[in-house]
Chain A
Amino acid sequence: MGKFDDIGKLMYLPLEEIKTDGQSYESDFIISAAAEAVLQAGGRNWIPIIVKEISDNNYLVVSNYFIYAVAQKAELERVWCIVIESDEKSIEQAKILARETIPKVNLSVATRETILAALRYLISEPGSALKGVDPVIAANKISEAKRETWSNFNPITTLRCGITKGKKLDALSKVFFLSQPKPSEPPPPAPEIISIKRASRDEIFSHLSYLSKYKIGGFEAIDPDQAADVIFTASKSKWKSLNPISKLECGIDTAKIKTLKTVFSL
């Protein structure tokens, strides 16, 4: 948000420079009538489209898709837009405020009140899969359960609160998420073992990154970048095993050498 960019500003941008990757799903009647209303105001849309800048003179609609559709219908030459930060969080927030996305709360830590309010919302939705679930009872039981340890919503089905596996349980993900990372998928096959003496710095880095990324043998605590530098620059000609690495003070101790052997040879 500075002098040299347009973030946060209300801009009057050429419609042809704006692309969209989303749609609004309104009836033709609403779109046409809204376009007419905009045209009657001399083509001025008082509620702006929310866009992010992709490159110079190149924008992408990230929210208020409806207004984009109206501008297209009205064949406006330029349209009023707000340019927002292009990170995911800002875009998510814009969509939430425009009522295009339903905000989610962290079920691992949410208060009972929040859970109750969220369940009431879900149940009141037309055609809700949770019809028949009593929000008060469900909120009581969920809030009293050991939620911090949940990695998915399945434990809810054992609480006997009317939320069963299938549609009902799935509906919860509309408003809830869990902070606990989902159990990690089995890591992809390990990279081929290479000789640590001959490996390039990048090869050492990529092998260490694999161990670190998939949290194998406690390597998630290692900074692969730094460790790769240390190992690469160390004088290795006299090494008779990988054990000297534990003395390099790069975080890899003797306990980790065994894991290291799954991706490196001497």
Chain B
Amino acid sequence: MPLTNWSDILDKILPDECVEQVICNQFVEPLLEALGFNAQERRPQFKTGNGADKVDFAVRYNKDSDIFSKSQINPYLLVEVKARATGAGNKINLAEGTPQYLAARQQIKKYLLAPKCQTAQWGIITNGVHIQLFRRHGRIVIPATNNEIIKKDNITDIVTQIKNLIENPPKALTISVYNNKGGVGKTTTTINLAAILKKQQKKVLLVDFDSQRDLTKSLKLEVGSVSLFDCLTDKNLDVRRSIVPFSPIGKKGKPVHLFDVIPSDIRMEQLTDNNVTATIQKGSARLRDLLKNFVYDYDYIIIDCPTQWIFFSQSSIYASDVVLIPTKHNGSTSLYNAARVIKDFIPEVKKARNDGGPMALSIFFNGEKITDPQLKVTNAEIEKIIKEYGINLLPYYWPKATPGNVDKTIFSIPSYATVANAAFSHVPAVLLNSTVEQHYLGFAKEYFLYG
């Protein structure tokens, strides 16, 4: 295939081109060609199956006799195209954080989750000025690249990066369960989420990256033949050998494998020692490299990390696609700390990672049942937080809000005595109690599972 002459292509597009179709023809078609999709593998104005919605392009590699442009089923990648300016001449600015960017991002998410796009794993938004790739995993749509400004000298790199990603799609979604405030049920959430995902036939790996070892202890596990702690410093060790299976005794009296765990090492406490930290090359970025070994094996990798913003939690979030933030409705500190995670910590990591991730998920309540008056107080508190930290925080607290309407529903998992008792029997509560199971199933469907 001849190299695409991007310089020529970019020169030909007017800086304030206001016709979307021109961007489609002059930029997106060559882009898709360069990504390896020929004309028979593309379909413009693809009907997503959600009302009259149409996405500008859907593409998929042809399989044998199944020609995508003809069959128009099971797309793999969607592209939503914008013009560079409106008809009136105003710039359409797709830079991160602009209303137009947020709207376009919302749009590609909606398309990726539409009935006829269930097989679509990737989405691109572009106007020939900016371009960003998104990845879809179940119900989650996350940035897979930075929102790049297209220039003549970086377009080839951007295309190569996108091509590499879509040709080697990772299987796993890596989740950190984190709140800067303690006692919000991080470990309980991690264990039960893992168990319910397993019940939905997902392959799950848990990582206990907390020196307190709560997760490891509550599942009654010991470090595997290699410790993750050693892997951090010693590059010659095989991190796969740090995995231990969690197989509690099932109803028939035989062990049943539920999920895999990388237990925490008691020596991790030494990491507060400066000399030890200095031996970890790449610092907080090291864990991500280690966990990359597993992204093609598991459906979900869930990391339980400690409360404070220290090496362990920084590493976990750096290694994650998304951050799940448990809060307590009756603890305003946990709500405020969630805002710090979203507003300060995650952007800090995002800047360092330079690939669009990680992304915060909307908060949820973990704990006692909420009474109506309590809920009022909590919502008033959230309103204050949003006032203080900015309106962009709203979707993280009230994800059901839509333009012009604020539905204040926040997902909540009520706590039951069985959840606490389960810790003593070293079995996830969802396996012991069907009510708890239903709550976590609802939780998994709300956040992660499609359909």
Pair A112/B409 contact, Cβ less than 8 Å:
no
Q: Is residue A54 within 8 Å, beta carbon to beta carbon, of the partner chain?
A: no
The CA-CA distance from A135 to B409 in the complex, in Å, is 12
Pair B439/A136 contact, Cβ less than 8 Å:
yes
Pair A141/B438 contact, Cβ less than 8 Å:
yes
Q: Can you list, as one digit per residue, whether each of B25-49 has a CB less than 8 Å from chain A (1) or not (0)?
A: 0000000000000000000000000
Min distance, Cβ A183 to any Cβ of chain B, angstroms: 31
Q: Can you list, as one digit per residue, whether each of A129-148 has a CB less than 8 Å from chain B (1) or not (0)?
A: 00000101101110000000
State how many residues of chain B have any CB contact under 8 Å with chain A. Answer: 11
Q: Is residue B138 within 8 Å, beta carbon to beta carbon, of the partner chain?
A: no
Interface size class of A (residues with CB under 8 A): 10 to 19
Interface Cβ pair total, 8 Å cutoff? 24
Pair B409/A137 contact, Cβ less than 8 Å:
no
Nearest B residue to A126 via CB reads B372
The CA-CA distance from A141 to B445 in the complex, in Å, is 13
Most buried by B among A134, A136, A137, A139: A136
Pair A137/B438 contact, Cβ less than 8 Å:
yes
Q: Is residue B435 within 8 Å, beta carbon to beta carbon, of the partner chain?
A: yes
In chain B between 415 and 439, which residues have their CB closer than 8 angstroms to a CB of chain A? 435, 438-439
Q: Is residue A73 within 8 Å, beta carbon to beta carbon, of the partner chain?
A: no
Pair B409/A140 contact, Cβ less than 8 Å:
no
The CA-CA distance from A112 to B446 in the complex, in Å, is 10
Q: Is residue A78 within 8 Å, beta carbon to beta carbon, of the partner chain?
A: no
Residues in B neighbouring A140, C-beta threshold 8 A: 438, 441-442, 445
The CA-CA distance from A140 to B196 in the complex, in Å, is 13
Q: Can you list, as one digit per residue, whether each of B438-451 has a CB less than 8 Å from chain A (1) or not (0)?
A: 11011101000000
The CA-CA distance from A112 to B441 in the complex, in Å, is 12
Instruction: Report whether over half of chain B's contact residues are helix, strand or loop; otherwise say mixed.
Output: helix
Min distance, Cβ B218 to any Cβ of chain A, angstroms: 24
Nearest A residue to B443 via CB reads A136
In chain A between 116 and 138, which residues have their CB closer than 8 angstroms to a CB of chain B? 116-117, 120, 134, 136-137
Pair A120/B438 contact, Cβ less than 8 Å:
no
Pair A139/B442 contact, Cβ less than 8 Å:
yes
Pair B439/A137 contact, Cβ less than 8 Å:
yes
Min distance, Cβ B399 to any Cβ of chain A, angstroms: 12
The CA-CA distance from A137 to B437 in the complex, in Å, is 9
The CA-CA distance from A53 to B435 in the complex, in Å, is 54
Min distance, Cβ B50 to any Cβ of chain A, angstroms: 11
Pair B439/A112 contact, Cβ less than 8 Å:
no
The CA-CA distance from A120 to B375 in the complex, in Å, is 14
Which residues of B come within 8 Å of A, CB atoms? Answer: 400, 409, 411, 414, 435, 438-439, 441-443, 445
The 6 A-B pairs at the shortest CB distance, nearest first, are namely A136-B442, A137-B438, A140-B438, A140-B442, A140-B441, A136-B439
Which residues of A come within 8 Å of B, CB atoms? Answer: 112, 116-117, 120, 134, 136-137, 139-141
In the assembled complex, 24 residue pairs joining A and B whose CB atoms fall closer than 8 Å, in A order, are: A112-B445, A116-B442, A117-B400, A117-B409, A120-B409, A134-B414, A134-B435, A134-B438, A134-B439, A136-B411, A136-B438, A136-B439, A136-B442, A136-B443, A137-B435, A137-B438, A137-B439, A137-B442, A139-B442, A140-B438, A140-B441, A140-B442, A140-B445, A141-B438
